[in-house]
Structure 1
Amino acid sequence: MTNDDDDYPDPSPEELGIGALFEEAPEPFHDLVAPPPDAMEELLPLMPQRTAAPQTWVVTVADAKFHWYDLIAGFPEVPDIRDPVGRHLRRMQFDLEATSEKRLIYFAVNRPRVRFDTTRSTSWGFFSLKLTVPLLVGPEEKKESLTIELEVPFAATLKKPSVVLTDRFITLNWGGLIEALSIHDVLQQYENQLNYKTEVQYVGQTKDPLGRLARARLTPVQRVHQKFSEDNDMLLLIQRFNVEVMSDDGDPAEMEVNQNPVAADMLLKDRIDVVECALIRYFEGPEMHGRSDKEADIRKQRLRDVQAANNLQNFRIDLRLEESGKYHDLYSRHAGVSRSHIIDCTIADGNVIITRVPDKAKP
């Protein structure tokens, strides 16, 4: 006896209204491939002018920000901006959408799962704004608590806010102002005893006309999220870099002839492409988290081209931040934990050769 339902095929993605999610889209690394000559003809007068002297680069972090990826994964509904949490989510969405127009580096990172415990109550300290909030930590939901000392915002009309907890957000109503903070915002902004490290799983570049990272539709990041999401929270650490060029001929990006947008972007692209490849090699190791052989070959050729075009001898990447907390204790399966990752790099036949600079010993 057969089931009558077997006579009816499963609905197609188009019938379900999600066909667009499965359309062919270029992999992010295809941006590394040079455009065809025909597409470059009208841009030739705007192409950057290069210098001949050898170059050495020093790469430092200008700023960095974490975004909680789990909040945008799974194609959530459009946030309600009349709600404090909805406004928080919309701001994060705007921030991430803006990165698709910029050449920034992102790390997909994991931290152990942490939630607010809504079954227990918050408590206030005597005659103070010290608020103790209950937590559930890890997949086993171990009971913990965190005490934070609040500061009265300028727009507040109450001396002490009313508090509402959900598993992921705390909302503080100060009368004239309502603040919504995620659990990861709280853990970053306030001192706490949870000494967890941040594990880098994947490295990428935000520049993407399709804006897939902000919509949780970037396939390699989706794979990482699916693999590690059961016991961990996943965040995106997005960093903007400064690249100082040391050369007897100066920095080509500072030449007057290279001040047009096309030349400036091509020079910046050279630098961020190299930084991305070096950080992939450093954090992901030789296997590059299952990236294809095609991607590896394209990246090698891109490194050869940039090295030749810029006469690049070597470069240093310094991931230190002046004001950084525990969330910046980064590590991976191939890089030991540190808040001060500094690597010296050279390029040999399209491969990045990495030498980690040892951390300074604590006094």
Structure 2
Amino acid sequence: MVRVTDAKYHWYDLLAGFAEKPDIRDPIGRYMRRMQFELDATSEHNHLFFAVTRPRVRFDIAGALQWGFFSLKLTLPLLLGAEQTKDSITVELKVPFAATMKKPSVTLTENFISLNWGGLVEVFSVHDLLMTYAHTLKLPSKVAYVGRTRDPEGRLGKGRLPAMHKVRAQFGEHYDTLLLVIGTEVEVSCAEGDPAGHDVNQHPQAADALHAERVDMIEAALIRYFEGSAPRFHGTEERQQRSERITAVQAANHLVQYTIDLELPDTGFYNYLSSEFVTSAKRHLLSCFVADGKAQVAPMPLPTPLKGSKA
């Protein structure tokens, strides 16, 4: 059984459109630099990521901000989609510990809101707010590409990954492209026990190789599920190499079947995923196996929640 242990979104368009290093003296620059550092760190690890597209959304800098009476409720104007349809989102701010003002001064750009509380400045992207605060906007998250973060060149954090260029070119400027980086845990059920617990796999290099094999299997299944049988953003050579790897892993481990339970923790209102081939859902339970060098995937019915528990 494969489960998601952690998940985090990053707005890839901001990185891909930023030619120079952000100015860390500026609050938005610090936000950008922090995102780059986080993605640079993933390049040293075998994590999986999804390229997730959503209809374009921006703050309407020509619109009016509205404060609630005697409260920190703030209504922000939005522009949605290619038509730039006017809409809004209402958020209820919380006074941070270091604030010296009861109500912040607000600065809007198309992509960011800056809240100056006197003692500090908070910065949020428009997607941060939509992820955090409840709203009724119908903006589906669609997986366009599944990849892995490990890359000695660290191209993901620099906005230079060729596959991501292709995704952005395919969907154009009327869609936003986000990265969803996930961590996973694997629970093995077999008579010999989990190979990760065997002495031979305690050495860091052996443990890393075992983890890479498992990521290969998970990645292959998720590509098949979200991108279909002919994924357009994965080249022929890449697909052939993956086929050889998962066939070898299957044979070496006598792997019959594996299950992926894809549910995103800590992603707020961005916890639903869909694709061209997959209906939107906040949980995807998949039965997977390898046949003819390819991952085969079948959706499984979700278990019925116990009475008194949350669905």
TM range (shorter): over 0.9
Q: CA deviation at 1:324?
A: 4.2
1:36 aligns with none
222, 229, 244: which one aligns with 2:172 = 229
214, 218, 243: which one aligns with 1:271 = 214
Flag as ranges the 4+ runs of structure 1 deviating above 4 A. 359-363
Query: Once the two structures are superposed, what CA deviation does each residue of 1:231-283 show, in whole Å capped at 9, x if it has no partner?
Result: 10000011011111111111111123322110100110110011011101110
Give the Cα–Cα distance (whole angstroms) in 2 for the partners of residues 113 and 143 of structure 1. 12
Corresponding position: 1:258 with 2:210: no
169, 181, 184: which one aligns with 2:124 = 181
Q: Where do residues 191-202 of structure 1 align in structure 2 (5 Å cutoff)? A: 191-202=134-145
Aligned-pair identity in percent equals: 51
1:141 aligns with 84
2:163 aligns with 220
CA contact (8 A) 1:196 1:326 kept: no
Q: Where do residues 1-363 of structure 1 align in structure 2 (5 Å cutoff)? A: 58-359=1-302
* Structure 1, gaps ≥5 residues long: 1-57
Q: CA deviation at 1:290?
A: 4.6
CA contact (8 A) 2:64 2:77 kept: yes
CA contact (8 A) 2:59 2:112 kept: yes
TM-score by length of 1: 0.81
CA contact (8 A) 2:7 2:181 kept: yes
> Per the alignment, do residues 143 and 75 of structure 1 end up closer, same or farther by CA in structure 2, a change over 3 Å counting?
closer
Give the Cα–Cα distance (whole angstroms) in 1 for the partners of residues 72 and 291 of structure 2. 57
Aligned-partner residue type, residue 220 of structure 1 = A
Give the Cα–Cα distance (whole angstroms) in 2 for the partners of residues 350 and 237 of structure 1. 27
Which of 58-67 and 321-330 deviates more? 321-330
Give the Cα–Cα distance (whole angstroms) in 2 for the partners of residues 236 and 345 of structure 1. 24
**Aligned residue-pair number:** 306
2:308 aligns with none
Query: Once the two structures are superposed, what CA deviation does each residue of 1:271-304 show, in whole Å capped at 9, x if it has no partner?
Result: 0011011101110001111533322221111111
Give the Cα–Cα distance (whole angstroms) in 2 for the partners of residues 319 and 197 of structure 1. 17
Give the Cα–Cα distance (whole angstroms) in 2 for the partners of residues 290 and 133 of structure 1. 36
Q: CA deviation at 1:360?
A: 5.9
What is the DSSP-based 3-state SS (H/G/I as helix, E as strand, rest coil) of the residue aligned with 2:156?
coil
Query: Once the two structures are superposed, what CA deviation does each residue of 1:127-177 show, in whole Å capped at 9, x if it has no partner?
Result: 110011111111111111111001111111111111000111000011111
Give the Cα–Cα distance (whole angstroms) in 1 for the partners of residues 234 and 33 of structure 2. 32
